[in-house]
Amino acid sequence: MAIRKSIRNLPEIELTDLRNALSQMMSITDNRGYEYMAGIHGIPQFRCKHGEAGSIADPNFRLFLPWHRAFLYWFEKYLQDAGHNTSISVPWWDWTSEASRIEGIPKALSDSTFNGNNNPLFSYHVKLPKSVDLTSFNEQTGCRKAMEFDTHREPDSPGLLPTKEEVESLLSLRDYGDFSDGVEDIHNRIHGWIGGRCGDMSYVPFSAFDPIFWIHHCTIDRLFWLWQLRPGNNLPLILYDEVLDPFSLTVRQVINPYELGYDYASQQVLVNGGIP
Ligand SMILES: [Cu+2]
């Protein structure tokens, strides 16, 4: 069982293991590698599922949470393979914590180097496929994205991160659709907060290349699980047999993280005591 922990509470040795596994994964060029996994979400595959306002009849409408759970599950599996260690897990970042509201992105993610090496949690070097044409992206955004680049962030001020109260009112929503929409909104805000005007996290085609993407989605998946743990909260049955394409998993198969082989540290405390 892999226990996903808060990045700020990760013991030094586990942070080193995580960095080594991630560096290893980033050097793998086949479909178990970092580039391939990131490319499922944005360039070149664009398979990610996000909510589309006004399309309630569409069965994809609220697959945002289960789809990203399946995505993170496979990412974590390949990360463990790359690190030859099944206890490696993706950490989460509690942006509501006091430390985050003062310093913003945790140092483990924002330091550009560690022990004289590049920090793989800080940035990833992307080489876009030749078929990509960045002309209209650059024209529309005013950014100067090149075909080869290091991912970067343009974080906003830490005081603008969502608060504990916002998260608590989100978790107290009873309807799955309301919760899914609310958590997706907060998720969008964090993408924009991290990426700013030209940072990779602000744009779906590039976001998953930034290593913070996985930590961000782990945070969102944890909120999803905390909501599921509250009595009476369930996903609509209509979603259960939906296949989370391209992963050969249905919604039913990702409902319980224990069955996927992971859990979140100190979740019981959280369930009884609110968000720390
Ligand atoms: Cu996202």
- The per-residue pLDDT for range 202-211, each reduced to its tens digit, is 998 999 999 9
pLDDT at 273: 43
Cβ neighbour number for residue 122 with a 10 Å cutoff: 23
Ligand 1 midpoint to CA 182 (Å): 13
pLDDT at 48: 80
> Two tokens at 23?
């560096």
- The per-residue pLDDT for range 61-115, each reduced to its tens digit, is 688 999 999 999 999 999 999 999 999 999 999 999 999 999 999 999 999 999 8
What mean pLDDT do residues 147-169 have? Answer: 96
For residue 85, give the nearest of 8, 12, 24 by alpha carbon: 24
- The residues spanned by each domain of the chain are 2-273
Ligand 1 midpoint to CA 83 (Å): 24
Ligand 1 midpoint to CA 213 (Å): 7
Name the phi and psi angles at 111, rounded to 5.
Answer: -70, 130
Cβ neighbour number for residue 52 with a 10 Å cutoff: 11
What mean pLDDT do residues 131-149 have? Answer: 94
Ligand 1 midpoint to CA 191 (Å): 7
Ligand 1 midpoint to CA 116 (Å): 30
Helix (H, G, I), strand (E, B) or coil at 56: coil
Res. 53: pLDDT tops 50: no
Residue 243 contacts residue 249 (beta carbons within 8 Å): yes
Q: Is the pTM of this model over 0.75?
A: yes
CATH of 2-273, picked from 3.30.70.380, 1.10.1280.10, 2.40.30.10, 3.40.50.620, is 1.10.1280.10
Q: How far apart are CA 224 and CA 217, in angstroms?
A: 10
